[in-house]
Amino acid sequence: MKLWRYSGLLLIGTGIIHNLIGFVAGWDMLVGMFYEGLWNTIEVPIADGAVHTRAELLWFLMLGFAWIMVGVLLHDNIRRRNVAPTKIWGWALLTKGLFVAIVLPVSGAWLFLPQGLIIIFAHRSGRENA
């Protein structure tokens, strides 16, 4: 089975999971922003005991959308060329995942480790074109 063919889709899935968590965890903030008219609703005073800010939620969601967009590009490239992504993709995902998993173990960073390994191991013995 050529798991590397699903690398882009796995990245898209990671971005979707990321944003689902953001929408669920930040729903109250998003609703508040909507009722305030959206324009310039990010920088508001933090209420006593608030854990996260609207700016953090905004960037959390933007990162999820970025992973989705990168996944779409990666998937399209794999589909058009029918070759595994270059090893640098695998090493980048693995390194990023390891770093974030070390500094923030209770996170989704662990999802990037198998994605990186799938790409790295696709290049063993010339299997990237198999």
> What integer pLDDT is reported at residue 129 of this predicted model?
54
Q: Name the residue ranges covered by the structural domains of the chain.
A: 3-129
> What integer pLDDT is reported at residue 130 of this predicted model?
47
Q: Which residues does the chain have with pLDDT short of 70?
A: 44-52, 125-130
- One DSSP character per residue, the chain reads --GGGGHHHHHHHHHHHHHHHHHHHTHHHHHHHHHTTSTT-SS-PPPTT--S-HHHHHHHHHHHHHHHHHHHHHHHHHHHH-SPPPHHHHHHHHHHHHHHHHH-SSSGGGGHHHHHHHHHHHTGGGGGG-
pLDDT digits (tens, 9 = 90+) for 88-106: 999 999 999 999 999 999 9
% of the chain at pLDDT higher than 90 = 68
> What integer pLDDT is reported at residue 100 of this predicted model?
95
